[in-house]
Amino acid sequence: MKPRVSALAFLAAVVIATTAAVPASGATGFDNERPAGYGINPKHQSNWEPTVAVDPNHPNRVYQLITGINAQACSNCPGTSVLFRRSTDGGATFSPETFVCATACKTIGWQFDPQIRVANDTNPACGCGTIYVVFMDQYDPGVQLFTSHDGGATWSPPATMNGGLKYMDKPILVISPSGRNVYVAFNHKFDNMVVASHNFGRSFLPPQKVNDDQLWWYANSGAIAPNGDVYFALDGEASLSGHGHDFDGSAKVALLRCSPSPTRPCANPTLTSFGVSAAPPPCPVSGCYPDYYAATGAIAIDATGHMAFAYTFSSQANGPKSLYVRTSNDGVNWSARRLVNAHADSSFPQIDGGPTSGDIRLAWQDDRTGRFNTWYARSTDGGTTWGSPVRLSNLGSGAPYKSPAGYAFPDGDYFGMAVSSTGIAHVIWGEADGSSLYCCGDTWYTKGS
Does the structure show a pLDDT above 90 at 43?
A: no
The band of 244, judged by pLDDT with boundaries at 50, 70 and 90, is low
Q: How far apart are CA 117 and CA 112, in angstroms?
A: 16
Does the structure show a pLDDT above 80 at 108?
A: no
The band of 23, judged by pLDDT with boundaries at 50, 70 and 90, is very low
Q: How far apart are CA 46 and CA 37, in angstroms?
A: 10
Does the structure show a pLDDT above 60 at 274?
A: yes
The band of 246, judged by pLDDT with boundaries at 50, 70 and 90, is confident
Mean residue pLDDT across the chain: 90
Mean pLDDT of 180-189: 97
Q: How far is CA 236 from the centre of its chain?
A: 17
The band of 86, judged by pLDDT with boundaries at 50, 70 and 90, is very high
Does the structure show a pLDDT above 90 at 327?
A: yes
Contact 218, 254 (CB under 8 A): no
Q: How far apart are CA 110 and CA 163, in angstroms?
A: 20
What contacts 166, CB < 8 A, 6 or more positions away? 139, 140
Q: How far apart are CA 134 and CA 113, in angstroms?
A: 8
pTM over 0.85: yes
Mean pLDDT of 228-244: 88
In the prediction, which pLDDT does 40 show?
56
DSSP 296: -
Mean pLDDT of 349-360: 96
In the prediction, which pLDDT does 9 show?
32
Does the structure show a pLDDT above 90 at 12?
A: no
In the prediction, which pLDDT does 28 show?
64
Mean pLDDT of 37-44: 60
Mean pLDDT of 219-231: 98
Question: What is the DSSP annotation of 57-68?
Answer: S-TT-EEEEEEE
**Burial classification of residue 125, based on how many CB atoms lie within 10 Å of its CB (0-12 exposed, 13-18 middle, 19 or more buried):** exposed
CATH of 8-448, one of 2.60.40.10, 3.30.1330.20, 2.120.10.10, 3.40.50.300: 2.120.10.10
Does the structure show a pLDDT above 70 at 358?
A: yes
Does the structure show a pLDDT above 80 at 25?
A: no
In the prediction, which pLDDT does 22 show?
41
In the prediction, which pLDDT does 174 show?
98
Mean pLDDT of 359-374: 98
Mean pLDDT of 38-44: 58
What contacts 131, CB < 8 A, 6 or more positions away? 53, 63, 116, 117, 118, 119, 147, 148, 151, 152
Q: How far apart are CA 198 and CA 186, in angstroms?
A: 18
Mean pLDDT of 207-222: 97
Q: How far apart are CA 236 and CA 253, in angstroms?
A: 7
Instruction: Find, among 376, 381, 438, 379, the residue nearest to 413 by Cα.
Output: 438
Instruction: Find, among 303, 362, 297, 298, the residue nearest to 329 by Cα.
Output: 303
- Higher-scoring residue by pLDDT: 366, 27: 366
109-121 residue pLDDT tens? 789 999 999 999 9
- The pLDDT > 70 percentage for the chain reads 90
Element (H, E) at 15: helix 8-15
What contacts 175, CB < 8 A, 6 or more positions away? 117, 119, 132, 181, 182, 183, 224
- Burial readout 282-293 (b: 16 or more C-beta within 10 A, e: otherwise): ebebeebebbbb
Mean pLDDT of 406-416: 95
The band of 257, judged by pLDDT with boundaries at 50, 70 and 90, is very high
In the prediction, which pLDDT does 448 show?
97
Mean pLDDT of 181-195: 97
In the prediction, which pLDDT does 110 show?
86
Q: How far apart are CA 2 and CA 282, in angstroms?
A: 10
Does the structure show a pLDDT above 90 at 44?
A: no
Does the structure show a pLDDT above 60 at 8?
A: no
Instruction: Find, among 335, 319, 339, the residue nearest to 327 by Cα.
Output: 335
